[in-house]
């Protein structure tokens, strides 16, 4: 089992550009969540996808958008990049089962630097 994989591992962009990050969930998982982790801070929830729809969203602007594909993989898109978007972007996968405290499995993250 490959676990959660993310690509690319590192990325450098300039202000105003757009970026797409990718995530493949752990085998058997159907839910993908994205988190942003600034240096020295805990991860902050961006949004969660299940059945190809955004189910929950954190306090992030519309510049952050996503997509989930039929094979459960997911993309995170950020438009009009700002310097403050520089962070580690983490993808977590899980299985959606009501009433269960399902574990979220995290990937290694994509380190984004905006210049």
Structural contact between residues 89 and 44, judged by C-beta atoms closer than 8 angstroms? no
Residues forming a β-bridge with 105:
93
Minimum CB separation of residue 110 from another protein in Å reads: 10
> By CB under 8 A, is residue 104 in contact with another protein?
yes
Question: Number of helices and strands (H, E) in the chain?
Answer: 0, 11
Number of residues that bind another protein (CB under 8 A): 29
Q: Which of residues 26-55 bind another protein (CB under 8 A)?
A: 33, 35, 40-45, 48, 55
CA 81 – CA 88 distance, rounded (Å): 14
Judged by CB under 8 A, which stretch of 10-18, 63-71, 79-87, 90-98 contacts another protein?
Answer: 90-98
> By CB under 8 A, is residue 113 in contact with another protein?
no
With CA atoms as reference, report the closest residue to 32 among 64, 56, 11.
Answer: 56
> By CB under 8 A, is residue 20 in contact with another protein?
no
């Amino acid at each position: 089992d490959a676990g959660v994989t993310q690509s690319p591992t590192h990325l450098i962009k300039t202000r105003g550009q757009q970026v797409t990050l990718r995530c493949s969930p752990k085998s058997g998982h159907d839910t993908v969540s994205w988190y942003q982790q600034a240096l020295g801070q805990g991860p902050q929830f961006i949004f969660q996808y299940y059945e190809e729809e955004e189910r929950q969203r954190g306090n992030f602007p519309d510049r952050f958008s996503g997509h989930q594909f039929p094979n459960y993989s997911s993309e995170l898109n950020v438009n009009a990049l700002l310097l403050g978007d520089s962070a580690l972007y983490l993808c977590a996968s899980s299985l959606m089962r009501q009433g269960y405290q399902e574990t979220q499995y995290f990937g290694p993250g994509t380190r984004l630097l905006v210049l």
